[in-house]
C-alpha cells in the first residue's frame, strides 16, 4: 500500500507545508485521512477510477478547510466522506452558505455519512475510537491488502491510540508540540509522547505529522523531533509534504 503525505502541518500553512491530509492507495481503494489544505494536491495523485473514502478526525478548521477547495476538483471517482457519530450536522453547517460552497452544489459528487459504531458499512475493516483532544476527535485503524494503518490526530496521550495502533504496520501520529513541551488541555503530543505510543502499541513504523506551523518553521526542526522520537521508538520518520513510501 502506498502512503503519500499531501499536508503535514498543524494549525495553518507555512513555507514548509500545508495542513494535514494523508493519502493511502490500496489495490481497490484510495483512503484519505483528513481534509486540510494539502488536499488541493489530490487530483495529481488520483490516476484511476478507484473508489475514494475520506475519514475525518474532527472538525477543527485545519482538518476540514480543504473542503473549501473541492469545487475545483473534476474527479469522477465515487467519493465517500465519513465522519464520526455526532459531527455531520456541524460539518454540513460549516460547508454551506454563507461560509463555503455546499457539497450539494459541487461537481464532485460526494456522499457524507456518519460512521456507525462497528463501521460495518465499509467494505474493509475499520475501527474508530475517541482520542484525547479539547473537542471531540477520533482516530482510525484500517486494514487493507493485508496491512494495517492507524491514524491518530489530533490527540494527546491516549490509551485509545495504543488500541488503534496495536501491532499496526504503520502509525501516523500527530506531533504538534516540540520536544519536552506538554500541551495540556488542548490535547496534542510531542515527539516523545508519540514515540511512546508507537512503542507500547508495538507497531512497525511511526510517522510523525501535524507539526504545528508556529513551532516547526523549518525541516530541521522536524528532523530534531525525529531524532528525539527515535531514542524511544527507532523506526520513526518525520513526514513532510510530498513524501511517498510503501507501507
Ligand atoms: Zn489540528
Ligand atoms: Zn484539533
The stretch 228-233 carries a mean pLDDT of: 98
The DSSP result for the chain, as a single string, is -EEEEEE-EESS-BTTBPBPEEEEE-SSEEEEE--SGGGGGGGGT--S--EEEEE-----HHHHGGGGGGGG----S-EEEEE-TT-HHHHHHHSSTTTS--GGGSSS-EEEEEPPTT-TTSSS-EEEEE-SSSS--EEEEEEETTEEEEEE-S-SS-HHHHHHHTT-SEEEEE--SPTT---GGG----HHHHHHHHHHHT-S-EEEE-EETTT--SHHHHHHHHHHHHTT-SSEEE--TT-EEE-
pLDDT reading at 151 higher than 90:
yes
Q: Closest ligand to 186 CA?
A: 2
Q: Which ligand is nearest to the CA of 65?
A: 1
Average confidence (pLDDT) over 133-138:
97
What number is the average pLDDT over the span 28-52?
98
Per the prediction, the chain carries an average pLDDT of 97
For residues 119 and 83, give the distance between their C-alpha atoms in angstroms, rounded to a whole number.
Answer: 11
- CA 117/CA 144 separation, integer angstroms: 19
Of residues 118 and 138, more confidently modeled: 138
pLDDT higher than threshold 90 for residue 24: yes
Q: What residues form DSSP beta bridges with 148? A: 143
Q: How far is the CA of 146 from the centre of ligand 2 (A)?
A: 30
Cell numbers at 114, concatenated: 456518519
Phi, psi values for residue 17, rounded to 5°: -170, 165
CB 113 within 8 A of CB 82: yes
Q: What percent of the chain clears pLDDT 70, i.e. is strictly above it?
A: 100
Q: Calculate how far, in angstroms, residue 177's C-alpha sits from the geometric centre of ligand 2.
A: 12
Band the pLDDT of 148: cuts 50, 70, 90.
Answer: very high
pLDDT at 117: 87
| Structural domains in the chain plus CATH codes | 2-240 (3.60.15.10)
Protein residues within 5 Å, CB atom, of ion ligand 2: 60, 154
State the pTM of this model: 0.98
**pLDDT given for residue 64 in this prediction:** 98
Q: How far is the CA of 153 from the centre of ligand 2 (A)?
A: 7
Q: What is the pLDDT of residue 184?
A: 87
Res 183: pLDDT: 87
Q: Are 213 and 177 in contact (CB under 8 A)?
A: no
Half-sphere exposure of 97 (CA within 13 A, CB side): 3
Amino acid at each position: 500500500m502506498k502512503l503519500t503525505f499531501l499536508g503535514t502541518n498543524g494549525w495553518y500553512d507555512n513555507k514548509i507545508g500545508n495542513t494535514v491530509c494523508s493519502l493511502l492507495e490500496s489495490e481497490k481503494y484510495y483512503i484519505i485521512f483528513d481534509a486540510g489544505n494539502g488536499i488541493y494536491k489530490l487530483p495529481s495523485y488520483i490516476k484511476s477510477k478507484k473508489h475514494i473514502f475520506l475519514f475525518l478526525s474532527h472538525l477543527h478548521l485545519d482538518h476540514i478547510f480543504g473542503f473549501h477547495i473541492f469545487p475545483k476538483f473534476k474527479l469522477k471517482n465515487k467519493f465517500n466522506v465519513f465522519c464520526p457519530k455526532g459531527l455531520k450536522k456541524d460539518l454540513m453547517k460549516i460547508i454551506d452558505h454563507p461560509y463555503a460552497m455546499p457539497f450539494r452544489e459541487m461537481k464532485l459528487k460526494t456522499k457524507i455519512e456518519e460512521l456507525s459504531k462497528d463501521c460495518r458499512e465499509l467494505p474493509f475493516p475499520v475501527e474508530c475510537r475517541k482520542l484525547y483532544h479539547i473537542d471531540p476527535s477520533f482516530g482510525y485503524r484500517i486494514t487493507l491488502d493485508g496491512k494495517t494503518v492507524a491514524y491518530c490526530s489530533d490527540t494527546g496521550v491516549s490509551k485509545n491510540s495504543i488500541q488503534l495502533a496495536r501491532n499496526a504496520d504503520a502509525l501516523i501520529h500527530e506531533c504538534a508540540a516540540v520536544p519536552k513541551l506538554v500541551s495540556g488541555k488542548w490535547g496534542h503530543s510531542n515527539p516523545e509522547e508519540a514515540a511512546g505510543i508507537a512503542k507500547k502499541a508495538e507497531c512497525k513504523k511511526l510517522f510523525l505529522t501535524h507539526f504545528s506551523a508556529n513551532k516547526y518553521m523549518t525541516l530541521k526542526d522536524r528532523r530534531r523531533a525525529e531524532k528525539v522520537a527515535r531514542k524511544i521508538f527507532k523506526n520513526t520518520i518525520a513526514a513532510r509534504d510530498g513524501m511517498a513510501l510503501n507501507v
